[in-house]
A and B are shown apart, each in its own frame.
Chain A
């Protein structure tokens, strides 16, 4: 087995191009997610979109849901909202059940 050490970098903010590379999607798809409010970039200098690091996991998730289940951007926005809600409920439930 090969053992390697690398200095890691936390991905803080990324451009539209980077985000596309990360989630293996084209720009039109990412823009669609932005239009549906799934991703919330900030508009940086030169009107370039900047995405926060946590947008990656959301975008990747969206990409998987689209690829595997055929859900469009609007549907994904809704699924992700519902999943967030479910997670919050599960977390509260876990608290009550642990008593």
Chain B
């Protein structure tokens, strides 16, 4: 177990006032909050900041933490002195649930945490699926680290594998409820539920908004000019799409009901993008020269000047 320097995490001195600590926390929280920040490691950073704040904002916890002293030299694993917890009562003062804290925190402040009687707490987690999974439905195995209470009331963290059926037509932001798979409970009460918030992994081709699917559809200049049928991929397989003649780049075509399935299925919106072939042979070059000669066309008339 590593010693956590909570003062360093918040960037405050050891004699910082409560006000200083609050300000430092808020500033870092705004920067790293997972709902706001876009950096990849923001969530990890935020958890550290949050944990430091959970300890330092509470005068009793802070005093207890200060008594533990400094980090041991040489980076050896940290062991709290035996019986150090005497005189402090942390039971029932646990921070908001649904957060995970470091082993350091759990050992110091969560030992013997008393859980409420009756039903266990609900747990929340996130599951990332592919767009194709939402079209067809899928089965996934989810690995979760969850607190487990033994019969003495001690809380430990255990890994659990839960297999989850992803129902067909699920939308981003919807929740899947797994009854009885939530937080731990003492033998008597019923366990809480586990709620999985669904999010979609970024897809190289498709973008999803609600039940609708968006993609860019590249077409050749002659397909744009002449119109006709082209084959377009969808998560559900290939479909034929009719391109109107004189189609423009940026023009949106709608395929009704081909979006995410459901009671009111979504649509697919294809944004056309005219792509020029690369001219590499003499024959192709001659062809374009011929077009340049025979087709008087100035695409810049609208620019004026």
Contacts and interface: CB of A to CB of B under 8 A. Distances in A.
Interface residues of B, number: 40
B35 A2 contact: no
A78 interface: no
A56 B181 CA distance: 19
B197 A68 contact: no
Contact of A90 (B38, B50, B162, B178): B38
Interface stretch (B84-92, B169-177, B233-241): B169-177
Interface string B167-196: 100110111111111000000000000011
B98 A8 contact: no
B160 A24 contact: no
B38 A10 contact: no
A15 interface: no
Contact of A22 (B122, B161, B165): B122
Interface residues of A, number: 32
A42 interface: no
A1 B159 contact: yes
A6 B180 contact: yes
A53 B97 CA distance: 22
Nearest to A14: B175
Given A2-B160, A2-B161, A68 B174 contact: no
Given A3-B160, A53-B174, A54-B173, 10 more contacts: A1-B158, A3-B162, A6-B164, A8-B176, A8-B178, A9-B179, A10-B167, A11-B195, A53-B175, A69-B30
Interface of B: 26, 29-30, 33-36, 38, 50, 96-98, 122, 124, 158-167, 170-171, 173-181, 195-197, 207, 216
